[in-house]
Structure 1
Amino acid sequence: MLTAPHIRASQGNFDPKVFLGRAEPGRAIERYSRNQKIFSQGDVAGSVFFIQKGKVKVTVLSEHGKEAVVGIFSEGQFFGEACLEGVAMRTTTSHAMEDCLITSITKQAMLAALTSEPKFATFFIAYLVSRNSRIEDDLIDQLFNSSERRLARLLLLLANFGEDGGAQPIAINLSQETLAEMIGTTRSRVSFFMNQFRKKGYIDYNGKIEVHRSLLDAVLRDKPQIRQDE
């Protein structure tokens, strides 16, 4: 599971949303409606995507037909950048989780921008370094933490706590099945922990999830530890 990192929207006078918000040769701005597919596993990989608005879910389908969520990406984040490393075919499928505004940049245009725009290159490298660190954290989380703690961490990451203070609850539109896939457990466990989190005031949950600061405080105190599993 990957919840991609957020890098500050601007560095000095450079704003990636402005830079990537202009349609130019090799760069297109497209709108996607909720559940609309952006690319499919097996498609030719020739573009990088930058989310101007909305959230995107990335999944992978095994040869046995089992689907798993491998990433959730939101405003200000990139996905599909493996093509820059020479990956020829998409290894995942992406869908818009809500109405999205996305900039697609061809591989050639992206490489040209990284060469001609040093500030953009600095921003993109910082994003990749932060993302790599997040992947390592996710692996440690899967190896050593209980499913309850993994769920708490996932909710905090999806709510972007720690970004610009992160004091306000942020709504997340995700099913319990998706959350279970992302932390490697069952939907029944997720349902149990979500109910306990709600009773303790860590979240509000009624179709949407509202994550509160108290969940972060509980995790920092090495809680919630509602029940030790695994």
Structure 2
Amino acid sequence: MPHRKKQDFDPIAFLANSGMGRRIVQIKANGTLFSQGSAADSVFYLQKGRAKLTVVSKAGKEATITLISAGDFVGEESVTAIAGLHMSTATAITACSALKIERAEMMRVLHAEHAFSDLFVAFLLARSMRTQADLVDQLFNSSERRLARILLLMADFGKSGEPETVIPRITQETLADMIGTTRSRVNFFMNRFRKMGFIEYNGRIHVHKSLLNVVLHDQRPGPNSMSAALLDVKQDKTKAAKKTSSAIKKT
């Protein structure tokens, strides 16, 4: 008898459907995929919707560390050599559809199917690069530029395909947590971006491509912006120093 040819594994189909050791779960907005301190026994693949990862300190202070969009894995700590606990909480920002993959099934498919392991490793590398970029952003950029970057990331600028310029509903408190500033400062910057024509902000935030100028090209968003004001102050000080120096030389 002729041998039946083994069917090629399709990672896209695997992530789109329920099966052995995996099932599709529906999470309402503000619902949790998993909680900080719970057993890390499953990996989630977000099929639809947006979510966020948060951590809470022993003192009870909460911080948002990253956003999750469709096509992202979350809970990847479940496939470490020794199963442990989730270090963060994954919460749905909008209604989400996710594939919950049990640890044993995730380990099996990673070892057995190279197409899937290639896809997963590519995601991990992209996540690592994003984490490094977030760290650099937090250390060296102003809160104004950090906010602009977060809005662009939420609108999927930089990803393949057309960006979703209308981003999910998100509170100014959450944005403030993510960029390390206060809600009043976020409100100040949002109003400025709106006046400069970078965003439309009426309940939902509509992000325009021109906001990229703030992040990529470090262009001044306008004569009344903070970056412009700081630059003008610096220029004024330089001019004043030159005038003083010239006056001293003349005397």
**TM-score calculated relative to the size of structure 1:** 0.88
Taking a change above 3 Å as real, the CA distance of residues 201 and 72 of structure 1, as seen in their structure-2 partners, is same
Taking a change above 3 Å as real, the CA distance of residues 170 and 73 of structure 1, as seen in their structure-2 partners, is same
The aligned counterpart of 2:203 is 207
| Local SS of the residue matching 1:171 | coil
Q: Which has the higher helix share?
A: 2
Taking a change above 3 Å as real, the CA distance of residues 46 and 152 of structure 1, as seen in their structure-2 partners, is same
Structure 2 residue ranges without an equivalent (≥5): 1-7, 231-251
Aligned mates of 2:127, 2:67 — CA distance in 1 = 12
Contact residue 38 and residue 86 of structure 2 kept, 8 A: yes
CA-to-aligned-CA distance 1:101-151 (integer Å, 9 cap, x gap)? 110111111111111211111111111111101111111111111000111
1:227 correspondence with 2:220: no
The aligned counterpart of 1:28 is 23
Taking a change above 3 Å as real, the CA distance of residues 168 and 111 of structure 1, as seen in their structure-2 partners, is closer
State how many pairs are aligned: 217
Shift, 1:182, TM fit: 0.3
CA-to-aligned-CA distance 1:183-226 (integer Å, 9 cap, x gap)? 11111111100000000010011111111111113433212462
The 4+ residue runs of structure 1 with deviation greater than 6 A are none
RMSD of aligned residue pairs (Cα, Å): 1.8
Contact residue 149 and residue 224 of structure 1 kept, 8 A: no
What pairs with 1:1-230 in structure 2 (closer than 5 Å)?
16-85=11-80, 86-166=82-162, 169-224=165-220, 226-228=225-227
Taking a change above 3 Å as real, the CA distance of residues 210 and 15 of structure 1, as seen in their structure-2 partners, is farther
| Local SS of the residue matching 1:161 | coil
**TM-score calculated relative to the size of structure 2:** 0.81
Taking a change above 3 Å as real, the CA distance of residues 98 and 16 of structure 1, as seen in their structure-2 partners, is farther
Aligned mates of 1:43, 1:219 — CA distance in 2 = 37
Q: Which is greater in Rg?
A: 2
Contact residue 167 and residue 213 of structure 1 kept, 8 A: no
Taking a change above 3 Å as real, the CA distance of residues 111 and 178 of structure 1, as seen in their structure-2 partners, is same
CA-to-aligned-CA distance 1:53-108 (integer Å, 9 cap, x gap)? 11112211111111111121011100011121235111211221111111011111
Shift, 1:165, TM fit: 4.9
The aligned counterpart of 1:10 is none
Contact residue 166 and residue 204 of structure 2 kept, 8 A: no
Shift, 1:167, TM fit: 5.7
Structure 1 residue ranges without an equivalent (≥5): 1-12
